[in-house]
Structure 1
Amino acid sequence: MRLLYSNILPLRLEEGQQSFIDYFKEAAGNSDSLEIAVGYVSKASLMELQNIVEDSGINNVCLNIGMYYLEGMPEGTYNAALSLNEAWKQAGIGEVRIVKAFKYHGKLYTFYKKGNPVAGIIGSNNLGALKLEASNLRQYEISAVTETPEEIEEVSNIIRKLKEPRCSANIQEVRVPLVREVNTALVGQEFVTRITSDEVAAYQRNVTDISFEIPLKVPENHADPRMRGSNINVCYASGRKRVWWEIEMVVGKEIRDLPGYPEHNKPFMAVTDDGWKFKAWTCGQNNKNLYSKDDLKIMGRWIKGRLVASGLVEPVNQVETDKAFKGMITEEILEKYGRNSITLTKTTVKTIAEDGTEMDVWMLSFLPNTDVQEVTV
């Protein structure tokens, strides 16, 4: 047995010492089978694990996650884990499981090659140690590694027991409580105000029966040429360059002709179900557009920002270089998110703008319609 270290000032690696990350990658490169049972993971570490599995030619892999079934799992991490599970199952190499019998807080890793034990790691390193971020960059960890076959088998025996149905299940079969993550795309943006959950609830208690369900018109998948460059994917349209966050909400005539639809070019205050407030209005020819008033990107940062927070898409810095349309929102993405429309509902509340003008307050809703239990934070 020997130790694996973090490499953080003032305790930098000394001569002869090895970091957890370096040893993990080295052991994976010498293996064809990898089994992991940890308490916590991160979205970034799941992506890094997939890269390591692919680069190392691992053909048998299982990740068992131990703390989220009872504590709740961040939605971005949950969707990343679902995606990883789907990729491994489609490739026929493994799965992602969730411990549900109890809170499992151990950190175990075993590596095998052609059925022979290569290495076993036990210690304080959760999977997040594979990809250091701001949250764990200064977090010092110590683990122990063994290359003794009998000791590796002992670690493997625990992991195998945790994989049994009495202890865990595939992540797709488990109703994991979700912790909704803050839409950071709106943090610090001009013309946008963050409000509390109590304030949101107060507005929700004053909603009226005047409500409109506005579908998000998107391609079926990334290969579908329809609806590219329009609506919330307008950044992919030819012509004027637009940033990824800019969208155009085009509302169908059958909706905007309904009684009570917001008046043309009359600003109102929009309050979102996830705690943001900004001015919006309906405008354009035949009143067909629903926009955030002061900055077209605000509505995009609200809608697309929710999908980013959920771990289903990453922002694209230069849309013109995204030839594979990786940043395009599709029906497949919205289905995974659990919502393919936004709801615009009038309230009885009035507010006063900076110029003294009275404005109606409307609720905008885009939180998922999901049967997964939600943990409020």
Structure 2
Amino acid sequence: MRLLCSNILPLRMEESQKAFIEYFNEVASNSDCLEIAVGYVSKAALKELGKVVEENRISKVCLNIGMYYLEGMPEGTYHAAISLNEAWKKSDVDGEVRIVKAFKYHGKLYTFYKKGKPIAGIVGSHNLGGIKLEASNLRQYEVSAVTEIPEEIEEISSIIHKLKQPNCSANIQEVNVPIIREVNRALVDQEFVTKITSDEINAYQSKITDTSFEIPLKVPVNHEDPKMRGSNINVCYANGRKRAWWEVEMVVGKEIRDLPGYPEHQVPFMAVTDDGWKFQAWTCGQNNKNLYSKDDLKIMGRWIKGRLVATGLVEPVNQVEADTTFEGMITEEMLEKYGRKSITLTKTTLRTTTEDGTEVDVWMLSFLPRNADVEEVIL
């Protein structure tokens, strides 16, 4: 048995010791089968695991995650796990991501095989985040033990295999995992935007009226679809002047604009979102076709796209002109995974006063997933 330790001052590793991440990568490069059962994972670690499996041509892999079925899973981590599971299904890899559902499993077990023979086993305190160091775990000290004795590896493997049985776990896409909604940080500290509490959200929602409009998000079907590529919430990809990735143009159909009670042309109102943000918006443009955030077009984009970023479905693009493969483009496939393809604009009975003393109506904007499993808000 050897110890795999963190290398953090003042407890530096000794010359005879090896870091977990170093040993993991070393033994993975010599393996064709990898099985893991841990309590927690991270988005970055899931992506790193996918990279390790691909680069080392590992043909069989199983990741079993133990704590989220009863505790709830952060939505960004959930979507990253789903993506990894789907990627393995579509590739030549015999792999899957599973969720322990019978109880809270908090162990950390890893086994590595080559041509059917056990070559290494790890037991200890390292969750999957140990394979990808980031800000959240750089100062977290962990210790694990590694064995290369076949009998001990098989003993570890036996527990992992028991956890894979249907009475203990299931494939992540067959389980209704409670989702913990993550904060849309794209609006944090933005000018003209105010954060409100969950109690305030509930107070506004208690005053909604029957005047409500469901506004579809018009996007391409997928990244290969040329239609709608460069309009509406993907306007940053349009030809012409350069726009920031966060900038959007919400174009509302005539059949919605002509309904009774739709906001008047260029009459500002206070928009309160269902995830706790408040900013001014209005309708404008030719024939009143555009729904914009009033003070900065990027605010509406940071609200809509920021929700998708928080779920891990897309990453912000700093230089849109360099995104020739349209990785940052919002698609129908992406919205389906998110759980919503439209936003809802609903009038309340309330009015409020802006900083300049103007009295305006209050409307609710909704874009949270229509998913009953979303049960907690991190504010």
Instruction: Give the distance between the partners of 1:125 and 1:98, measured in 2 at CA.
Output: 18
Of the structure 1 ranges 87-96 and 31-40, higher mean CA displacement relative to structure 2 is found in 87-96
Task: Give the equivalent residue in structure 1 for 2:85.
Answer: 85
Task: Give the equivalent residue in structure 2 for 1:312.
Answer: 313
Contact 1:175 1:373 in 2 (8 A): no
Counterpart of 1:260 in structure 2: which amino acid? G
Q: Secondary structure at the match of 1:145?
A: strand
Instruction: Give the distance between the partners of 1:13 and 1:56, measured in 2 at CA.
Output: 27
The answer as to 2:247 corresponding to 1:246 is: yes
The answer as to 2:25 corresponding to 1:25 is: yes
The answer as to 2:10 corresponding to 1:10 is: yes
Contact 1:176 1:373 in 2 (8 A): no
Q: CA deviation at 1:222?
A: 0.3
Contact 1:64 1:98 in 2 (8 A): yes
Counterpart of 1:84 in structure 2: which amino acid? L
Q: Secondary structure at the match of 1:175?
A: coil
Contact 1:183 1:306 in 2 (8 A): yes
Q: CA deviation at 1:373?
A: 4.6
So what's the TM-score if we normalise by structure 1?
0.99
Q: CA offsets, 1:38-73, max 9 Å, x none?
A: 000001100011011111110100000000000000
Alignment of 1:202-281 (within 5 A): 202-281=203-282
Task: Give the equivalent residue in structure 2 for 1:181.
Answer: 182
So what's the TM-score if we normalise by structure 2?
0.98
Contact 1:271 1:364 in 2 (8 A): yes
The answer as to 2:346 corresponding to 1:345 is: yes
Instruction: Give the distance between the partners of 2:320 and 2:12, measured in 1 at CA.
Output: 40
Instruction: Give the distance between the partners of 2:181 and 2:239, measured in 1 at CA.
Output: 35
Q: Secondary structure at the match of 2:119?
A: strand
Counterpart of 1:308 in structure 2: which amino acid? V
Of the structure 1 ranges 84-93 and 185-194, higher mean CA displacement relative to structure 2 is found in 84-93
The answer as to 2:157 corresponding to 1:156 is: yes
Alignment of 1:348-363 (within 5 A): 348-363=349-364
Q: CA deviation at 1:10?
A: 1.6
Instruction: Give the distance between the partners of 2:374 and 2:132, measured in 1 at CA.
Output: 28
Instruction: Give the distance between the partners of 1:14 and 1:268, measured in 2 at CA.
Output: 63
Counterpart of 2:59 in structure 1: which amino acid? N
Contact 1:40 1:65 in 2 (8 A): yes
Counterpart of 2:67 in structure 1: which amino acid? M
Alignment of 1:130-149 (within 5 A): 130-149=131-150
Counterpart of 2:72 in structure 1: which amino acid? G
Task: Give the equivalent residue in structure 1 for 2:336.
Answer: 335
Instruction: Give the distance between the partners of 1:356 and 1:318, measured in 2 at CA.
Output: 38
Unmatched 5+ residue regions in structure 2? none
Contact 2:110 2:121 in 1 (8 A): yes
Counterpart of 1:41 in structure 2: which amino acid? V
Aligned-pair identity in percent equals 79
Instruction: Give the distance between the partners of 1:369 and 1:178, measured in 2 at CA.
Output: 12
Distance verdict in 2 for CA 1:240–1:373, change over 3 Å: closer
Q: Secondary structure at the match of 1:299?
A: helix
Q: CA deviation at 1:17?
A: 1.5
Contact 2:39 2:107 in 1 (8 A): yes
Of the structure 1 ranges 19-28 and 367-376, higher mean CA displacement relative to structure 2 is found in 367-376
Task: Give the equivalent residue in structure 1 for 2:191.
Answer: 190
Instruction: Give the distance between the partners of 1:93 and 1:233, measured in 2 at CA.
Output: 36
Q: Secondary structure at the match of 2:121?
A: strand
Instruction: Give the distance between the partners of 1:356 and 1:374, measured in 2 at CA.
Output: 37
Instruction: Give the distance between the partners of 2:357 and 2:278, measured in 1 at CA.
Output: 18
What CA RMSD, in Å, does the superposition of the two structures yield over aligned residues? 0.8
Instruction: Give the distance between the partners of 2:31 and 2:366, measured in 1 at CA.
Output: 48
Instruction: Give the distance between the partners of 2:113 and 2:134, measured in 1 at CA.
Output: 29
Q: Secondary structure at the match of 1:333?
A: helix
Instruction: Give the distance between the partners of 2:147 and 2:14, measured in 1 at CA.
Output: 20
Instruction: Give the distance between the partners of 1:365 and 1:160, measured in 2 at CA.
Output: 43
Q: Secondary structure at the match of 1:291?
A: strand
Q: CA deviation at 1:15?
A: 1.2
Q: CA offsets, 1:255-311, max 9 Å, x none?
A: 011110001011100000000000000011111110001110000000000001011
Q: Secondary structure at the match of 1:368?
A: coil
Q: Secondary structure at the match of 1:154?
A: helix
Contact 1:251 1:290 in 2 (8 A): yes
Contact 1:211 1:346 in 2 (8 A): yes
Q: CA deviation at 1:12?
A: 2.1
Instruction: Give the distance between the partners of 2:158 and 2:377, measured in 1 at CA.
Output: 37
Counterpart of 1:32 in structure 2: which amino acid? D
Q: CA deviation at 1:129?
A: 1.2
Instruction: Give the distance between the partners of 2:25 and 2:297, measured in 1 at CA.
Output: 44
Contact 2:112 2:119 in 1 (8 A): yes
Alignment of 1:26-45 (within 5 A): 26-45=26-45
Task: Give the equivalent residue in structure 2 for 1:63.
Answer: 63
Q: CA deviation at 1:374?
A: 1.9
Runs (4+) of structure 1 exceeding 3 A deviation are: none
Instruction: Give the distance between the partners of 2:344 and 2:102, measured in 1 at CA.
Output: 38
Q: CA deviation at 1:14?
A: 2.2
Q: CA deviation at 1:13?
A: 2.3
